[in-house]
Amino acid sequence: MENRINKIFVKNFRGLVDLELNKLNRINVLVGDNNSGKTSFLECIKLISNPNLNNAITMCTTRTKQLRAGSFFTEFINMLPKRDNSGINISCIFDSGNELKYRLNGNVVQTLINPIEMSEYIKIIKFDSMQNISQFNGKIGYDFYNKNTQDIKKNEQEIKLNAFNAFNYRSFKGKSNLMKVAYISPVDYAGINRSFDIIIKNEKYKEIVIESLKIFDPYIEDILYMKDDFGDPIECVKNSKVGIIPLSCYGDGVKKLLSVAGGIASANNGILLIDEFETAIHIKNYDDVFNFVDKACEKFNVQLFITTHSIEAVDELLKIDSLVENSDINFITLRKDYDLNKTVSRTLSAREVRENRKNFDFEVRL
């Protein structure tokens, strides 16, 4: 299983066009204006981590909480590039020298469906005769080149996807053995059940996480499960001043840190993607939180990709001397060039950014 990306080329994915990033680092901070492609880049990595239709449908709905059958198909279609019918094409070279080439292409056609045949996918059919609907016909596949053996593994899947069967395809099963990738969206901290469970099961790591939680509340002593009156487990925090209370009583900062901590552990020997890292964290806690994340990622051998809108967050990262001096962190600025019809990028080391911030008040986000 691959655990670190060295280079990636995105021919087409959402708004990303002809984007090439080389010499990716242990920690990669993506900055840029709104709608420059930062979130799309994270989704791009998540997409290729498990190159099958199930993952594509699940991944393309991370930006919406709509769970209607038709919404999955709509989001899937809008994930494809609009400028032509070339589809999604992504190439990735790992530190091992192995290479993955991902493709998803096809076109939308009109087709007739029988409501009786579709009843197995949804309970309510809004028409009772043959209906003309939109359907995506295409293929999803990948080529994986092994540098050591020089073998090429090929895989391809036919797709006939419409609003009525898209929900049926959505599944979290069938994990890939190519890459281990965990993804944390800006709102994932609101539901941290899985992260809490991962931390609880690793006693030594739990001790480290508890110490980090004291950034937000110095009286936190433990995290644990308690049962409610129905026997269901509730995530709780033991506080030396007020006793054991539900995690829901705490603010978003504690929940965000637990979410990130769980993500790091689940991405062990793999890749962690965090969109809008600074969400729910007060500026005065940036330094301590970033130090915890740096040490935890190093402990679990995790390559980190984060996005941020905050120049304050950038400055706090630049204060971590170990990251800067060891050249463990890159800052990647993305920008859409409409004249060239491509996504352009600029990659700078933390040392370069720190020197330019100090001497010229450099704006790394533009």
Contacts (Cβ under 8 Å, ≥6 apart) of 94? 2, 3, 4, 5, 6, 100
User: Residue 338's CB: how many other CB atoms inside 10 A?
Assistant: 6
Residue 52: which of 165, 153, 159, 152 has the closest Cα? 159
End-to-end CA distance of the chain: 36
Quote the pLDDT of residue 332: 96
Quote the pLDDT of residue 326: 82
Quote the pLDDT of residue 47: 92
The rounded radius of gyration (Å) of the Cα atoms in the chain is: 22
Q: Tell me the HSE value of 284 on the side-chain side, using a 13 A CA sphere.
A: 2
Quote the pLDDT of residue 172: 45
The tens-digit pLDDT sequence of the chain (366 residues) is 888 999 999 999 988 999 999 999 999 999 998 889 999 999 999 999 988 888 888 887 777 666 666 677 888 888 888 777 789 999 999 999 999 999 999 999 988 876 666 555 554 455 566 678 888 999 999 999 999 999 999 999 999 888 777 766 654 445 667 889 999 988 776 556 778 889 999 999 999 999 999 999 999 999 999 998 888 999 999 999 999 999 999 988 999 999 999 999 999 999 999 999 999 899 899 989 999 999 999 999 999 999 998 999 999 889 888 888 888 999 999 999 988 889 999 999 999 999 999 888 888 988
Quote the pLDDT of residue 86: 81
Q: What is the 3-state secondary structure (H, E, C) of 46-74?
A: HHHHCCCHHHHHHHCCCCCCCCCHHHHHH
The helix/strand/coil state of 265 is helix
